[in-house]
A and B are shown apart, each in its own frame.
Chain A
């Protein structure tokens, strides 16, 4: 089945609009885009209003406004009749039409201030349909509801027409009880419960009451039994609530545990950081020493290198003087000068002319004074040392430069490691972590308290159950003793046996449905998921807890992203469609609003894939219909509409894109 068109007259923002969903390509995908306030969500409400006569998604603003379009009220004369109409055209696979029409009639009155007010008169609901022979039939009110139940039953409509938020929240808040309830609805076990079980219980009570009239003992036991049965039912209800609370708490705790599992060991990271700080300090000191050594080398050797021409020259002169035997000094020039001046030899003898001439010749031969020679001799060693030092300069400079580069690299490495650790520590806000621990503890207390309560309640339930068994047995005996009521006795036996059979049947159907939904959800999810290797399977266990198992073997439902969570809920919803046998369309309001930009594309692809076999109507906000989504869905849809609000904001108009 698919929705062929929706016609809205005077319904809220829509004065007169017809939206036709024609399938023009392989994808039966239809897109409606509109800014907030243009009435997108009211399409979802209009559908519900027409089919089920309620508006479950009404915004606070809309709740304060009348159902009838304000523009239409403005235009009406005093006392004029107006109506609101929503028509939903449904097309079956055999090309038969079902036109659901709901009308609400109004009279518009003017008050003393000349303001117009709509006064609701009555509502009509009808279904026009073509039968197998092609004839058109019209059915009204309660009978018409039967056709709605054949299209999308009211009890399970939330799996067909829903808000995107529901997809996001479904498994966040899903309790085993909720899943159990859903499976009960889908398997239509509730029919057995409501139509047969309840009726049988009522009949049984009546028979027992009748039997009690014959014998006061029977009556007392019956009253006692009914009291115990009521207490049993109320305890069961409390147990259900308790289990729900435990379920929620467990899920939350699991979520926190998953979050906390990803947090690095801050303490050991801080230790590592401290040891790196010490290493950094040490390496930095060594680096500075090396830099200083290099500075000293440049300073000392640099100066000598610059002065090399003078050094070289001195070495050359000294070497030449050595060669000429001027160095070392053989005779002290000053001493000879003194002898010649005083004409007295060092032995005290006076010099004769011959001796004077010989001493004068000797003085000529001594060119350098001994003082200069001594200075030159003193210079020799330092000069050679400087020369040798200069020769070593390149090697020393090379070694020091290499060491400095190495220490710089070591420091860069340490710095990088420290930054990585800093990044890890900073990314995990310690305040948040503390909050998680505290919340987890809080939910732990809720779980423990409820578990304690559950124990008490279970015990009480068992007690009531035992009492019921004993009283049933007692009642049976009392009734059997009473010969006047043989017929009632048989009827009571029949009711008890029937109730037992109904209970067993319910269990079998529910179990089968659970297994089928689990298998179908797995099939759909793994066909659609973009991460093919991340997950292993989906498991709906016998307690109706849903688990998504990671390929590494652990349960990961609490930690998956919004897009994956929505896909899981969508797979579950589609599985419910298959199992329920209702092949009706899906209408989703704000389908990707809670999904991060980068994953919207994945979800867009999923909707496109699903729409090959099922009609999908998506209501996007303008911001939500991002470039990525637009690029993907612009070519994949059968029709695309835009909602625009009129200037006076009382009417929304439709544009086909």
Chain B
């Protein structure tokens, strides 16, 4: 039986990339005077990797944050991504694999995110992101508000 991991990892080299998120006020890490936690940054990177359907295996793992810090809603998202990726709920029986999928999406996502920030004119990333989110949102077709 696989042992339950106690932390979420990132690739050691991603440390620099996560630092670069500090260039965008709303993605900035709390420790640098911003408002995002490592966990929040990780989830955003994971979403970007997922959006682009790219996973990258981690070369050198480095603990990023503790599993105990995950809220039910966080775990739900990680599980959902894993179920979607594995196309079976059985994956949930192997939590190590579930987290690995999330880590690999985040590893690919952080690179894509930083590339995007750097390729867009300063101060325009937020606007661009809003535009892209709306494009996806309109495709979802969920209507209420």
Contact = CB atoms under 8 A, between A and B. Distances in A.
Interface of A: 292, 295-296, 298-299, 301-311, 313-314, 317, 321, 368-369, 371-372, 375-376, 378-379, 381-383, 385-388, 390-398
Contacts of B80: 307, 310-311, 313-314, 379, 383
Nearest to A375: B92
B79 A393 contact: no
B43 A369 contact: no
Nearest to A315: B80
Contacts of B84: 309-310, 313-314
Contacts of B89: 317, 321, 368, 372, 376
Given A302-B129, A308-B136, A376-B89, A314 B144 contact: no
B90 A372 contact: yes
B64 interface: no
Given A305-B140, A379-B76, A392-B145, 20 more contacts: A295-B126, A298-B26, A302-B133, A303-B43, A303-B47, A303-B77, A305-B136, A306-B48, A308-B140, A310-B50, A310-B84, A310-B85, A372-B89, A375-B79, A376-B89, A378-B76, A379-B80, A383-B80, A390-B142, A395-B144
A454 B119 CA distance: 86
Given A299-B44, A306-B47, A382 B73 contact: yes
B50 A314 contact: no
Contacts of B92: 371-372, 375-376
A394 B135 CA distance: 12
A305 B145 contact: no
B72 A378 contact: yes
Contact of A298 (B35, B72, B126, B144): B126
A295 B25 contact: yes
B114 interface: no
Nearest to B143: A391
A418 B85 CA distance: 58
24 contacts: A298-B129, A302-B44, A302-B130, A303-B77, A305-B136, A307-B46, A307-B80, A309-B84, A310-B77, A310-B83, A313-B83, A317-B89, A372-B93, A376-B89, A378-B76, A382-B77, A383-B76, A383-B80, A390-B142, A391-B142, A393-B137, A394-B137, A394-B145, A398-B145
B69 interface: no
Interface string B119-141: 00000001001100100110010
A379 B85 CA distance: 16
A103 to B, nearest CB: 86
Contacts of B44: 299, 302-303
Contacts of A307: 46-47, 50, 77, 80-81
- Which 3 A-B pairs have CB atoms at the shortest separation, nearest pair first? A395-B145, A391-B144, A295-B26
Contacts of A385: 73
Contacts of B90: 372
Interface string B84-106: 11000110110000000000000
Contacts of A391: 142-145
A390 B143 CA distance: 9
B26 A386 contact: no
B83 A317 contact: yes
B87 to A, nearest CB: 8
Nearest to B74: A382
B73 A390 contact: no
Contacts of A309: 84
Nearest to A318: B89
A308 B50 CA distance: 10
A306 B80 CA distance: 12
Given A295-B126, A306-B136, A387 B142 contact: yes
A640 B9 CA distance: 96
B61 interface: no
B40 interface: yes
Contacts of A393: 137, 145
A303 B74 CA distance: 11
A387 B143 CA distance: 11
B92 to A, nearest CB: 5
Contact of A392 (B46, B48, B85, B144): B144
Contacts of B129: 298, 302
Contacts of A371: 92-93
A408 to B, nearest CB: 15
B12 interface: no
Contacts of A304: 77
A396 B130 CA distance: 13
B5 to A, nearest CB: 15
Contact of A386 (B46, B76, B79): B76
